[in-house]
Amino acid sequence: MTKSPFIESIRNILRVKRYSLQTEKAYLYWIRKLIFFHNKRHPRDMTESDVELFLTHLAINERVSPLTQNQALCAVVFMYRHVFGRELNNMKFHFAKTPQRIPQVLTHNEAAKVIQNLHGKHKLIASIMYGSGLRVSEVLRLRIKDLDFERNTVFVYQSKGQKDRVTLLPNNIKDQLNSQIELVRHIHERDLHDGFGLTSLPASLISKYKNAAKNFYWQYLFPSTTRCKHPHDDYICRHHLHQTAFRKALKVATKKADISKRVTSHTFRHSFATRMLETGHDIRVVQELLGHDDIKTTQIYTHVIGKNKFGAISPIDSIN
């Protein structure tokens, strides 16, 4: 398949600016989609109205979510700003709208049942999500150095919005974590013996850290089962596990636990927030642990806990 020089030029800019691989793939996807929507016209020949038409099409015809439409907008804005050196001004397009939904959460007992039906590393991944409020992508990107057993904290590096934060390290899973760390140590020693041992690092950082990338504490807590070629810098490394295997295991565990709710990886993060509020933790503390910029994002969980929000009691509950 012939690579487009134009698309490759955007890819290079994204890598120079150290955008994540996930963002790179998403931005290039939307830029290609814009080009094909306008019958392969070059973006330099497009105007604001052409971009508006594309974004409106996504909202009305493809019925994408507001987040998806915004991602497409960010991709196009990035292209015009950093490739063509111009801004998109006075944009007027149809915004995608969806009703605000209260997130699906598990009760404390339901979360425990699902976790108990998971095994090995999948059980530990779910335990960290429910115990620390992490997204599944954040758990899989954890490195050995991010765990502080003395302070009982987990360091989350450049999560959503390129923000760092610190959250809780549960006492309950320390033994499981230590076992996982020893497993990682064994894998790393074997890689070193075979002449490898480099971990996967963001684009261009490998030249900065050099042999430090072989340090055990830089290794992923959940390393992949095989070594691979780094997608940016072409060196042989060991990346982290992919989300797919965990999702399959979670689906089986939910069925075994006889939970009728729709349970995804993100359900554990929602359930963490709800449980923290139910047990009396200040909403500002929960906001900090989740890494929310706006308290309004965290406040949605107060709707989930229902009567506990105001200490309200249903009238029928007072009937003997």
Active site (catalytic) residues: 135, 160, 266, 269, 292, 301
**Alpha-carbon distances, residue 50 vs 32, 68, 137, 202 (angstroms):** 14, 18, 35, 34
First-last CA distance in the chain: 74
Q: Report how far residue 178's alpha carbon sits from residue 213's, in angstroms, rounded to the nearest whole number.
A: 21
Query: Count of CB atoms within 10 A of residue 57's CB?
Result: 16
Specify the pairing of strand 228-229 against strand 165-168.
unpaired
Q: Report how far residue 68's alpha carbon sits from residue 96's, in angstroms, rounded to the nearest whole number.
A: 9
**Are the CB atoms for 91 and 59 separated by under 8 Å?**
no
**Are the CB atoms for 159 and 291 separated by under 8 Å?**
yes
What is the H or E stretch that residue 156 is in? strand 153-156
**Are the CB atoms for 180 and 221 separated by under 8 Å?**
yes
Gyration radius from the chain CA atoms: 23
Written as six digits, the tokens of 62 are: 């493809």
Specify the pairing of strand 236-237 against strand 147-148.
unpaired
Instruction: Give the residue from 306, 270, 260 showing the smallest Cα distance to 108.
Output: 270
